[in-house]
Every structure is written in C-alpha cells, then in structure tokens.
Structure 1
Amino acid sequence: MKKIYVKLLFVCSLLLIIGCFRYQEALTWLDFQYQVKQQEKIVQVQTSNQVISIPLEEYLIGVIAGEMPVSFEKEALKAQAVASRTFVLSRNLKVDNTTNSQVYLNEDQMKENWGKQYEQNKKKIEEAIQETKGKVMTYQGKYISALFFSSSNGKTVNSEDYFTGEVAYLKAVDSHWDTSIDPHNIRKKTFTKKQLADIFNVVPEDIRVTSHTSSGYVQQVTINQKTYTGREIREKLSLPSSCFQIEFSSNGYTFITRGNGHGVGMSQYGAQAMALENNNYQDILHHYYQNIEIESIDS
C-alpha cells in the first residue's frame, strides 16, 4: 500500500511540474500574442521622401495637431481622435501625410506651429487620445471609412454625391452650426476668362450650374455645353468646397463658396459646436456617422 501512495505522489508531482511548465508556456504564448498585437499597431506613413514607422497612439498626436485646431473643445478633439484612429486602421495602418489620407505633423513642426504653447497643446491632445484609447467605429463588424472635413454649407453630403458608390453610414445630416461657427465659411475666388481658358482649354462663353445635390452642393456645371461635376470644378479651380455660386462681372467669374472640404462624414466645426453645447464625443460621432458602433480594439 505504501508503494502505491509513493507512486501516486510521484505521478501527482510530475503532473504538477508538467502543469507548471505548460502554464508558463501558456503565459509566454499569451505575452507573445500581446506583443504581436502591439507590433501590428505601427503606422507606416509615406512622406515626400521616405516611409516612417510610428506607434498608432503616438501617430494620432501628430494627426490631431495637423487636422484640427488645438483650441477646439476636448470632446471635439476626442471625436477627432476616434475618427482618425478608425481611419488609419481601415487602411491597414498604411497612409501618407497629406490630405489624401491624414495630415501628420512631426515634433519639430508642432514646436514651430505652437511655440511657447507646445507643451500645453501637446498635453491637451495626449489627454484626448488617452481618454479614448483604443476606441474605434465599426459598421457591421468592420472599421468604417471615417471621413471628415472642415465645415459644410449647413448640411453634410451623401457619400455617393461626391465619391463613387453609396456608403450606408456616410449619409447627409444636419450641420447647421457650421455656417455661423466657421469664420471663413463663405469665401470668394475670381478668375479671368484667360485663366479659365488655360484651365479648361476653351474660352468660356457660357458657364452655369445646372443641378444640385439634395444637400445643396453643385452636382453639375456646363461650360460651353460641356458638362463637369461639381467635384471636378472644385478640384480644377482649387475651390474650398463644391457648394458654390458663380457670378460674372467685368473682372471675370467669381465663385462664391460655402464650407470647406468634401462635405462627407464628420464636420470638424460642427463637432466643435456640438461640444460647446455639452455633447460628448460619442454624441458627435453618432450624429455624423449613421448607425455605427463605438468599440474598443484593446478589449
């Protein structure tokens, strides 16, 4: 009987030792997976002459600094943090540092822009990022294309009215705040006939807006019977917005624009106005992106 007890004790001890090894292996495996997960959150940013690698949360500091006035309310900055984090994740962490993706400022550029306010401004942005750490927007389980822009004409634009294809969560919504809160919401830009002739390869004799989107942005323009989209006119003439009127005078053609940006997704000035009305960042995001979920990638 004593031999049986000894054998049982030996077997139990052996199992305990093996279990400890396996437990340690499990911890090592989990730690490895965590490290892999962290390593995956490295953003590859294409600059004019090189690709730089930046940890995601650090990258967001430079993006918010480049994309939104640091004077904006904390909740607006937090909404921008979640939108920018989602945007870069939806593009598999590979972006450039222009408005084609998201403007990114490095440390030196932030110091140059902010001067003596550098430490204070950076801390404010870091707090907005930390308070939304890991938060992203999804639609049907996938990261959304979290488009944003500066200000609208009072209403945002359906995705299909500016870009190609309908996107369920990028639908036109009210953004009436923009027309009063954005100090540069209305702008004017004048072109002579010769300047337009050089751009369109034809002397303009008849320019007119022929249709608008449901949000009041220009849908089509004809120049001497040739049709262009509002987006094409905006891009060819470098206009702030595709919401414009055209006035003819002895000086040439004046394009009077409302808003700044493509108009799809979140209005940054609208986000600021909503924050001033005591809305939190979730309220802002749910207003501008329809039927989305706000989730955490770190959970």
Structure 2
Amino acid sequence: MKRYIFIGVLVISIFMPMAISEGQVMPVCNIIEEKMTNADNSAKSVNKELEDYVIGVVAGEMPYNFPHEALKAQAVAARTYAVRQIKANPNIKYEDIAQAYISIDTMKKRWGKNFDINYNKIKNDVYATAGEILEYNNEPILATFCSTTNGYTEECQNVWTQDLPYLKSVKSEGEELSPYYTDSVSVSKDNFAKIFGTSNPVISEKTKAGYVKTVKVGEETYSGNKIRKTFGLKSTSFTISTNKNNIIFSTKGYGHGVGMSQYGACYMANSGNDYKTILKHYYTGTNIKKL
C-alpha cells in the first residue's frame, strides 16, 4: 500500500496504546468485588469494574476474531497496564488510562447483529484471566504492546530512553501475515526540503532489531522517531529510496515495536501456544500473579 503526502507537516501521535473514551464518563477506579464460581464450584473474588474495563480495552485494541489465547494475552497486558496506572494514582479514572477502551454501545454499532457472539467471546477470555497481571520484581510492569513488528520487537530504551529489563528485543514470528506488515509513504522532495532544508535523507544508524535510530539530512541528524512522526510512517523500521520528484519511505511493522506484538501473539496462538507462553515470550523474565 502506497500513500502520498504533499502537505506541510503531518504529525501523528504514535505512542500506543492511545486513550479512547468514546465520550463516556467512567468512574474512579474503585475496587468493586463480586464472587465468580470456578468450574470446581469454588468461589473467587473478581473486581468486576476492572474486568469490564478490560473487556472494553481488548475490544478496542485487538480484532475480535483473533484466537482465544491471543485475546487472553491482550487481556492480561491491558489489565497490567491499568493496574500500574491505578497504583501510581489511586484516584485516576478509567478514561484517563491511556488505552483504547470502547463502550458497549460502540461495540453494538461496530458489530451489529454479531454483538452477542463477539462480546461473549471477549468477555469469556477476559474473565478466564480475571485478576492476572504481569510482574517484575513484585511490581506491575509497563505492559506496552503494538500491532505489528518487523520480525523483532524493539528495546524500550531505543524508543523512550528507559532501560526496562523486561522490554527487550525478541524474535516475533508470523508478522508477515499482518495486513500492516508493509507500507510506503511518498513525500515530494520539495515538501521534504521545506521541512528539513534539503532533500537528501540518509539512514545513519539502526538498532540491533533493525529500526532506524538516526537519519542524516544535510549537516543535521534526526531521530528515526522524528521522521516517523513528521510523515505519519507506520514504523521506524524503514528504508529510503528516491525517484526524480519523490522520497519514498518503505516501512515494516505498525507501532512503536516495544512489548507484545498483537499479530505475533496471534501467530503464536494459532501455532498452539497458550497465553502464558505468549506473555513470557514478549515480556522477558516476568511472572504472572493474581491480584
């Protein structure tokens, strides 16, 4: 898929996950528990408010037709992200937790007559992992995730400068099956020069995972992330080519590349891995704990 940009500067926020509240006012994250019966008729406490929030996040972040184990992995990652935010700010509202939550009304509009089937599938997968979060050194982790990688996840420190031991680069198979695996953006040389002063960008450094770290433009050096945001590239894993009038950025992956890849998780699930195996693969050295 090729896209053309002939306008000035197009800036797209790329930090995933993004907050989407659908205009719904959500309550402060109080702990509301109810009893849920296990298959062996034993009861366990469930924070219904949290789990219902996670349902909305999974519905907003991952395609409903993904396999169960991928949806479960997404549920644990989303719950972990939320719990980390709540721990840092007990008065935070769910709508202020930066994840793509969608309401039941939005699900109904999006899914139509398939609402009941899709909702119950996601709900069952969320509640199958109820209360489970990822921890490192007894603390909830920063459970970031992205849509698609270039075949390897990126290290956290190369995107946000933080060096988190559980967000290391790992191989992510099956990414080429994602509809977002490849993309290209064509920028006119004139437009590029208006922004950067010249039209001869050269990749000067890549990370070990293959993402662009820096780009040299004339005498100036810019981060790959700067180039990505400026032209709305889907990833910092890109190559640069030119023709007579344009500069073409060809990308692999979609998102920042840090943490769990959703399409990688889908591939792992379809290959027979359960959600715990998926999570331990993408979040190095973490443990799954019940709240």
TM over 0.5: yes
Residue 122 (1) aligns with residue 119 (2) = yes
Question: RCO (CA 8 Å, sep 6+): is it higher in 1 or 2?
Answer: 2
What residue is the counterpart of 1:189 in the other structure?
185
Aligned match for 1:166, one of 150, 163, 167: 163
Residue 52 (1) aligns with residue 38 (2) = no
Given that 1:193 and 1:203 are in contact with CA atoms closer than 8 Å, whether structure 2 keeps it comes out as: no
Aligned match for 2:137, one of 130, 137, 140: 140
What residue is the counterpart of 2:265 in the other structure?
271
What residue is the counterpart of 2:243 in the other structure?
249
What residue is the counterpart of 2:153 in the other structure?
156
What residue is the counterpart of 1:109 in the other structure?
106
Q: Percent identity?
A: 38
Comparing 61-70 with 186-195, greater Cα deviation is found at: 186-195
What residue is the counterpart of 2:78 in the other structure?
84
| Deviation >6 Å, runs of 4+ | none
The 1:95–1:240 alpha-carbon spacing in structure 2 relative to 1, beyond 3 Å, is farther
5+ long unaligned stretches in structure 2: 1-18, 30-48
Comparing 248-257 with 81-90, greater Cα deviation is found at: 248-257
The 1:51–1:223 alpha-carbon spacing in structure 2 relative to 1, beyond 3 Å, is farther
Alignment size in residue pairs: 249
Give CA deviations for 1:216-263 in whole Å, capped at 9, x if unaligned: 000100112211111111112111100001111124111100000100
- For the residue of structure 1 that corresponds to 2:26, the secondary structure is strand
Aligned Cα RMSD in Å? 2.0
The residue correspondences of 1:272-291 to structure 2 (distance < 5 A) are 272-291=266-285
Q: Using the alignment, how far apart are the partners of 1:260 and 1:46 within structure 2?
A: 19
Given that 2:153 and 2:209 are in contact with CA atoms closer than 8 Å, whether structure 1 keeps it comes out as: yes
Q: Using the alignment, how far apart are the partners of 1:264 and 1:51 within structure 2?
A: 30
Q: Using the alignment, how far apart are the partners of 1:239 and 1:58 within structure 2?
A: 33
What residue is the counterpart of 1:71 in the other structure?
65
Give CA deviations for 1:148-189 in whole Å, capped at 9, x if unaligned: 00010000011111112200000000002212x212300011
Q: Using the alignment, how far apart are the partners of 1:46 and 1:208 within structure 2?
A: 36
Q: TM-score, normalised by structure 1?
A: 0.79
Aligned match for 2:205, one of 181, 203, 211: 211
Structure number with the higher helix fraction is 1
Comparing 54-63 with 277-286, greater Cα deviation is found at: 54-63
Q: Using the alignment, how far apart are the partners of 2:173 and 2:23 within structure 1?
A: 41
What residue is the counterpart of 1:16 in the other structure?
none
Given that 1:95 and 1:102 are in contact with CA atoms closer than 8 Å, whether structure 2 keeps it comes out as: no
Given that 1:266 and 1:289 are in contact with CA atoms closer than 8 Å, whether structure 2 keeps it comes out as: yes
Structure with higher Rg: it is 1
